[in-house]
Structures are given as C-alpha cells and as structure tokens.
C-alpha cells in the first residue's frame, strides 16, 4: 500500500511498510512512476546487502497520525512493484 499526499505544488508519496523510501512528483501520474522507481531501487539495495525484504503488512492507515495542514488530500492505493530476492546471506545480528 502506498500513500500519496497532494500539496499545493506537487505530490509526495511513501509506503508505510518500507520506511525511508519517499518520493515527489508534479502530478499523480509522475508520482506513481517516481515512487515505483524509488521503492524498487530501495529494495534492490536491501537485496544487495542481503537484508530481508519487508513483508507487506499495512492494510489501513490512520491519517490522524500524519495530519499536515499543507496537504489538501490523500490518495491511497496498491502499487505493484518488483521485489528482488536477497543476493547474499543475511548478516547475523550481534546482540
């Protein structure tokens, strides 16, 4: 699931299940393309590092958590992306 925020001059977008991957676009069509590219690039870098892929878990979103007066509306949808397989063994975590 992805969330697009429409602001005065552009759209911002993010996927709650993939923290740190955000993008901007001048319109919704460009926003979809840019966020898809951003998410696939982010996941590809994770795969290259041997990180586990985040599982899609978000099925709803509480907009009260991100209330922003600069946003005039939100668009929520499913965005199909390519999810790569990790290219090396995941690193052991030392506690």
pLDDT in tens, 39-87: 999 999 999 988 888 888 998 888 777 677 889 999 999 999 998 887 7
Q: Rounded to 10 degrees, what is the CA torsion of 54, 13, 72, 59?
A: -20
The answer to whether the beta carbons of residues 38 and 21 sit under 8 Å apart is yes
CATH number of 2-77: 3.30.160.250
Q: Where are the domains of the chain?
A: 2-77
Concatenating the DSSP letter of every residue in 52-66 gives PPPPP------GGGG
Contacts for 8 with CB less than 8 Å, ≥ 6 apart: 70, 72
Each residue of 15-51: pLDDT tens digit? 999 999 999 999 999 999 999 999 999 999 999 988 8
pLDDT at 95 over 70: no
């Amino acid at each position: 699931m992805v969330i697009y925020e429409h602001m005065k001059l552009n759209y911002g977008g993010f996927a709650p299940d993939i923290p740190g991957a955000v993008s901007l676009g001048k319109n919704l069509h460009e926003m979809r393309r840019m966020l898809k590219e951003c998410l696939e690039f982010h996941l590809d870098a994770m795969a290259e590092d041997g990180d586990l892929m985040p599982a899609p878990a978000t099925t709803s979103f509480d907009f009260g958590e991100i209330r922003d007066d600069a946003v005039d509306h939100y668009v929520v949808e499913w965005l199909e992306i390519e999810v790569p397989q990790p290219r090396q063994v995941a690193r052991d975590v030392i506690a």
